[in-house]
Structure formats: structure tokens, C-alpha cells
């Protein structure tokens, strides 16, 4: 009996040691600055560079559609919109830095579309140059007016329904989107915000400590979880109003939400196209069980969203249990980020 108790005690101690390491750093293979640098290069720069490349392809596709409005060209433009949209939604797990301070987020992604004002713009005699598009209200530019013009109200628009004026507006909107994504791409380059972020605790004008930069990442991940669960999902669901859906014309909302969760995963794992040191590296070193819990909750959130099998505008009426489950899974992820991960960063990074 004594031997059994001793063995059990040693087993419990070993689990505790693996789950939450001591301060021995002999096997530590990362620095906090490496994590910040790899986030900037692999996640922020990687995502924004891809977003800008795809926004350029979207502009070129719309230009080709205006010159040759065939159903094939229209479908290609719709796919190019979805490709650009994917990159944008996968950037929303880190809505800090220039995307926030320069108000690029609302200029790219305000919704719902203001139909009445949009019709007024189309019926006006305004020249759709950069200055005019920049002067418009945020709800009249960015992804969603482009989406509306490409798909139409019911998602069934044909090339015969396009007007010359709509093509002009589409091209101007796509040009503006291309310009804004270029701003984001350049903004994170070395010598710009890359230095502000990676020099945290070493003279950074914005982050006086490394802890502040780490908490910025954690807070941004939690914030997009809150926005998806309590805004993008909850607002149309609670109001039972499909007109409040984020991407209704393309039927892309569930994909949008899933890409937002993938954005959280990308920030945590330190990856987009390439992968480096990351928050995962940090958490695995200090607390293996927390790392496993975060990954589990990320996967649970993605799975719960994929369990919604009809367009979101229908699901709020016909798959309410699945919608509620998705909200709960996303809020569970938010909770572990806001509480457990935040606490670990505060304990381990100065």
C-alpha cells in the first residue's frame, strides 16, 4: 500500500512539473524578442502582403470584367473577392497598429451596406476618383459595397444587370481597397511599425515593456472572439434580422467567422505562410496544459462554426442550436485567452 501511494504521488508531481515548468531556463530555446519579431514577419507582414497581392488581383479582375462582362469573368471576380476576403478576415486577430491608428479597418470593412446612400452615389454625377472615394462614408467603400455590386441583393446578379456606372464605382472601390491594403503592407515593414513592435521594452515609442506587446497580441485575439460571438453572430441572431448579417450577398459569413478564428490560431502559432517562434512557443515552455487547452478551444470554435450547414442568414432561424453552440465555443476560447493566457504573460514577462 505504501509503495502504491508513493508511486501515485510521484506520478502527480511529474504531471505538475510537465504542466507548469519551474524557472529553470536551461532548455529555453527562444527569447521574447524572437517571438515579437517572428509575429511581425510571419503573421503581420505575411498576412498583409498576401492581402495586398490578392486585392491587386481583385482590381485586375474587376477591370477585366468591365471590359468584357461575361459570366465567366463575373465568377472569377467573385472568387477573387472571396480570396481577398479570406486574407482580410485572417488579419482581424491582430487589429492593432496602423490598421487601427489610421482607421483602415472601418474603411475596409464597415457593414451593413447603406443601400439608399449607395444608390445616391450611383445616381450622382460625381467623378469616382481617389479623392471622392476617400471622402465617402465608411459604409460606402470597402469589401461590402464591392460584394453587393458583384452579387446583387439576392446573390444572383447577372452581367446583364450591370450598368456602366456600377462598373465605374466597382473599379474605384477596388482601387481604394488596393491602396488601403498597400498601406497596411508597407506599415509593418522594417523601419516602420515592425520596429515599434519588436523593440518593445527597448525604446519603443508605444510599448514600454515586452509584456505590453505580448498583452497587445493576447488582447487582440480575445477582441476578435468577442466581436464574432457578441457582434457578428449575436446581433442578427438576437434581433432575428438577416439584414444585419456581415457578408449576406455572397453567403460568405460562416467562412468569415471561421477565418477570424483561424486568425486567432495564426497569432497564437506565429504563422501565416511561414511559421516561427510564437505565443505557442512561450506557453508550451511554461504551461503545457494551457497550450493544449487553447488549441482545443480553437478547434472547438472552428468545428462549432462548421456545424452550421446553411447560410448564416438562414441559420439564425433554422439552426439556432448550432448558432448558440458556436457562440459558446467562441466565448470559451475568449475566456481562456482573457484569463489564463493573460495571467501567464503577466507572471512570466516584464
- Residue-wise pLDDT tens digits, 53-76: 999 999 999 999 999 999 999 999
Q: Kindly report, residue by residue over 141-194, the tens digit of the pLDDT.
A: 999 999 999 999 999 999 999 999 999 999 999 999 999 999 999 999 999 999
- pTM, two decimal places: 0.92
Region 135-146 average pLDDT: 97
For residue 4, what pLDDT band results from cuts at 50, 70 and 90?
very low
Nine-digit cell string for 253: 459569413
Say what percent of the chain tops pLDDT 70: 93
Nine-digit cell string for 89: 478576415
Q: Which CATH number fits domain 31-348: 3.40.190.100, 1.20.1420.20, 1.10.1370.10, 3.40.50.300?
A: 1.20.1420.20
Query: Domain-by-domain residue ranges, the chain?
Result: 31-348
- Report CA-CA distances (Å) from 241 to 6, 233, 315, 327: 61, 11, 11, 17
Query: How much is the pLDDT for 15?
Result: 43
Query: How much is the pLDDT for 27?
Result: 83
For residue 228, what pLDDT band results from cuts at 50, 70 and 90?
very high
Say what percent of the chain tops pLDDT 90: 92
Q: In terms of DSSP H, where are the helices of the chain?
A: 2-19, 32-38, 46-67, 71-89, 98-101, 104-109, 115-123, 130-135, 143-151, 164-187, 193-198, 210-227, 234-239, 253-269, 279-286, 288-306, 312-318, 320-336, 342-348
Query: How much is the pLDDT for 17?
Result: 43
Region 330-344 average pLDDT: 98
Q: Kindly report, residue by residue over 21-57, the tens digit of the pLDDT.
A: 545 566 899 999 999 999 999 999 999 999 999 999 9
Amino acid at each position: 500500500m505504501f509503495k502504491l501511494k508513493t508511486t501515485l504521488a510521484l506520478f502527480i508531481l511529474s504531471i505538475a512539473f510537465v504542466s507548469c515548468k519551474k524557472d529553470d531556463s536551461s532548455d529555453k530555446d527562444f527569447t521574447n524578442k524572437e517571438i515579437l519579431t517572428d509575429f511581425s514577419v510571419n503573421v503581420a507582414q505575411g498576412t498583409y502582403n498576401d492581402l495586398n497581392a490578392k486585392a491587386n488581383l481583385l482590381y485586375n479582375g474587376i477591370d477585366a470584367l468591365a471590359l468584357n462582362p461575361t459570366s465567366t469573368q463575373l465568377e472569377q471576380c467573385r472568387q477573387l473577392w472571396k480570396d481577398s476576403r479570406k486574407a482580410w478576415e485572417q488579419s482581424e486577430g491582430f487589429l492593432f497598429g496602423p490598421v487601427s491608428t489610421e482607421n483602415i479597418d472601418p474603411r475596409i470593412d464597415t457593414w451593413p451596406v447603406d443601400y439608399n446612400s449607395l444608390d445616391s452615389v450611383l445616381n450622382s454625377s460625381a467623378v469616382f476618383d481617389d479623392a471622392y472615394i476617400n471622402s465617402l462614408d465608411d459604409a460606402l467603400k470597402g469589401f461590402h459595397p464591392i460584394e453587393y455590386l458583384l452579387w446583387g441583393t439576392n446573390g444572383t446578379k447577372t452581367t446583364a444587370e450591370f450598368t456602366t456606372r456600377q462598373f465605374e464605382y466597382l473599379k474605384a472601390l477596388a482601387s481604394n481597397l488596393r491602396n488601403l491594403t498597400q498601406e497596411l503592407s508597407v506599415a509593418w515593414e522594417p523601419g516602420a511599425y515592425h520596429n515599434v513592435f519588436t523593440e518593445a521594452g527597448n525604446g519603443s515609442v508605444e510599448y514600454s515593456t515586452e509584456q505590453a506587446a505580448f498583452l497587445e497580441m493576447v488582447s487582440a485575439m480575445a477582441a476578435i472572439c468577442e466581436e464574432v460571438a457578441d457582434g457578428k453572430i449575436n446581433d442578427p441572431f438576437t434581433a432575428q434580422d438577416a439584414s444585419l448579417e456581415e457578408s449576406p450577398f455572397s453567403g460568405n459569413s460562416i467562412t468569415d467567422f471561421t477565418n477570424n478564428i483561424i486568425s486567432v490560431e495564426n497569432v497564437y502559432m506565429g504563422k501565416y505562410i511561414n511559421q516561427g517562434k510564437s505565443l505557442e512557443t512561450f506557453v508550451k515552455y511554461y504551461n503545457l496544459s494551457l497550450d493544449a487547452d487553447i488549441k482545443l478551444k480553437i478547434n472547438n470554435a472552428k468545428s462549432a462554426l462548421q456545424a452550421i450547414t446553411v447560410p448564416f442568414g438562414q441559420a439564425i432561424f433554422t439552426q439556432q442550436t448550432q448558432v448558440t453552440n458556436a457562440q459558446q465555443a467562441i466565448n470559451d476560447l475568449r475566456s481562456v485567452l482573457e484569463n489564463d493566457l493573460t495571467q501567464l504573460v503577466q507572471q512570466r514577462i516584464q
